[in-house]
Amino acid sequence: MSIELIEIADSVRDRGDINGAIELYQQAVKQWTKAINENPGETESHMYLAVSYSGLGACYCERKDYDKAEPDDIDKTEHFFGVAQGMLERLFVDTQNYEVLLHLIVTLQNQAILALEQSDIARCEQNIEALDKWVKQLKSFEGIVNKPVLAEAVQNKIRADIARKQGRHEVAIDFIERAIELANRAKAHHLGRSEANLWLELLCYLAEIHTELKQFSQGLNVLKTAIHYLEFFTDSPILLNMTKISQLAVMTQYHFLLRKTGASVSELDDIAERAANLLDKTPEIHYDQMSKLRMRYNQEFDDNL
C-alpha cells in the first residue's frame, strides 16, 4: 500500500491548509487500519498508522493558534500524539526497526515542544530525558549518520528553549551553540532540506537570544555566517526552494541587527531587496509560522520598501 496519502497530507499541512490536512490524515488512518485488518503482521502498516495519528496531533497542535481553533484542539493534540507514541514504542520493541524509531523520536519531540508551549517545564524535561534514551539507540544503527545528529541537535534546541523560558539565557546560548555545531556537521555531510533549514533556524534563534540581551553585534556576527553561506549559493535554485522561509527569517533578523549597529543605507537596502524577493516566492504558504514571519517582516521593512 502506498504512503502517498500521508505525503499529500504533509504537503497540504506545509501549505497551511490545516483542516484539509486533517481530512487527509483521517483518510490515511482508515486506509492503514484496513491494511492492518487484512494483514496484522505487516510492520509498515502499523508504522504508517502511527505516523497518520502523529500527523493529526501535529495538525491540531498548529490549529490551536489559529482564529478557527476549537476548544478541544489541545486535548486532540495530546490524544493523537499519545496514541502514536504508544504504537511506535510497542512496534520498536517488537521490530527494532530504524524507521519506527525515527518516527517515535519526532513524535516525542513534538510532545516536548507542546509541553513547553503550555509552560509545563517538568513534563517537557521528562520528555527530553525519555528522548535521550531513544536518540542514543538511534546512534547505534550502523551506516546511519545524519538522522541521529539532527535528532540530537533538536534535543539541544529544546533544552535551549527551556533555559530561555526560565530566563537562563547564557545556558540557552550554550545549548543552541551545541545544536548549531551538530547541525553544521550534518549539513557538511549531506546538504538536504532538513539539514539546511535546521542550521539556518538555529543561527537565527541564537541571534534572537543575543538580541534579547541587547548584544546586537554578537547577533549580527552570528547571522553573517548564514548570509555569507547563502551568498555562496546565490545561483542555486534548489537551495533557495528548500530554505526560502528560513532565509526570509534570517534576512529579517539581519536587517534589524544592521539597523541596531548603524549599518549604511546601501547595506540595509540590499538586505531589504533580498528579503522582498524571498517574500515574493512564498505567497502560497499560510501556516502560523509564516503568518508570524510576515507580520515581523512588515514591521521591519515598512520604512524600507
pLDDT band at 126 (very low <50, low <70, confident <90, very high): very high
Sorted by where each starts, the structural domains of the chain and their CATH numbers stand as 2-217 (1.25.40.10), 218-304 (no CATH)
pLDDT band at 151 (very low <50, low <70, confident <90, very high): very high
H or E segment to which residue 299 belongs: helix 288-301
Distance of CA 127 to the CA centre of its chain: 17
pLDDT at 67: 47
Residue 305: partners with Cβ closer than 8 Å, 6 or more residues away: 272, 276
pLDDT at 85: 95
Dist CA 167 CA 173 (whole Å): 11
Residue 284 has pLDDT above 70, yes or no: no
pLDDT at 280: 79
Dist CA 301 CA 305 (whole Å): 6
Query: How far lies 277's CA from each of 231, 244, 270, in Å?
Result: 14, 10, 11
Residue 103 has pLDDT above 50, yes or no: yes
pLDDT band at 294 (very low <50, low <70, confident <90, very high): confident
Q: Give the mean pLDDT of 11-29.
A: 88
pLDDT at 305: 46
Label residue 68 exposed, middle or buried (CB < 10 Å: 0-12, 13-18, 19+): exposed
pLDDT at 142: 84
Label residue 262 exposed, middle or buried (CB < 10 Å: 0-12, 13-18, 19+): exposed
pLDDT at 238: 73
pLDDT band at 287 (very low <50, low <70, confident <90, very high): low
Q: Supply the mean pLDDT for the chain.
A: 88
pLDDT at 288: 59
Question: Which triple of cell numbers denotes residue 49?
Answer: 498508522
The backbone region for 207, taken as left when phi is positive above 0, alpha when psi lies in -120 to 50, beta otherwise, is alpha
Q: Give the mean pLDDT of 209-226.
A: 96
The more confidently predicted of residues 70 and 106 is 106
Long-range contact set of residues 62-68: C-beta below 8 Å, sequence gap at least 24:
62/13, 62/18, 62/287, 62/288, 63/18, 63/19, 63/22, 65/288, 66/18, 66/288, 68/19
pLDDT at 215: 97
pLDDT at 216: 97
Closest to 222 (Cα-Cα) out of 266, 257, 271, 248: 257
Q: Give the mean pLDDT of 223-243.
A: 80
Q: Give the mean pLDDT of 196-223.
A: 96
DSSP state of 50: H
* Residue 101 and residue 60 in contact, taking contact as beta carbons nearer than 8 Å: no
Dist CA 184 CA 125 (whole Å): 25
pTM, two decimals, is: 0.86
Q: Give the mean pLDDT of 133-154.
A: 91
